[in-house]
Amino acid sequence: MSQKKANSYTAEFKEAAVKLATESNQPVTQSARELGVNVNTLHTWVDKYSGKREVGSSGQVNDPHLYEELKQLRRENARLKEERELLKKAAAFFAKESR
């Protein structure tokens, strides 16, 4: 039985992959698929390169579920800001029309 050779990635590639996974609006699994990287590998890189730690000396707990929730809330916040700007423009338009 032949063994599969482990892929080695440069630090630059890993950092770019983490940036894509954390800053894009797509799930980490989709980012991993697009990059041709195992999903678990990408999650490991995200943990390592984003400064995530389990329980540090300061007593802070960093839960992966909280990280995903934060990512989702940031996306929602950006969407709501866009909607608010659109509503401001619509209100200004209709206020101008009613004069």
pLDDT digits (tens, 9 = 90+) for 45-97: 888 877 654 555 555 566 677 788 888 999 999 999 999 999 999 999 999 98
Give the CATH number for residue 28.
1.10.10
How many whole angstroms separate alpha carbon 57 and alpha carbon 46?
Answer: 21
- Does position 29 have pLDDT exceeding 60, yes or no? yes
Q: Given this model, what pLDDT does residue 10 score?
A: 86
Counted domains in the chain: 1
Whether 48 maps to a domain, the answer reads yes
Whether 1 maps to a domain, the answer reads no
Whether 21 maps to a domain, the answer reads yes
Q: Given this model, what pLDDT does residue 47 score?
A: 84
Whether 38 maps to a domain, the answer reads yes
Domain containing residue 43: 11-53+60-97
Look up residue 51 and give its two tokens.
Answer: 């400064």
How many whole angstroms separate alpha carbon 88 and alpha carbon 29?
Answer: 36
Top pLDDT among 11 and 59 is at 11
Residues 6+ apart with CB under 8 A from 15: 49
Q: Given this model, what pLDDT does residue 24 score?
A: 84
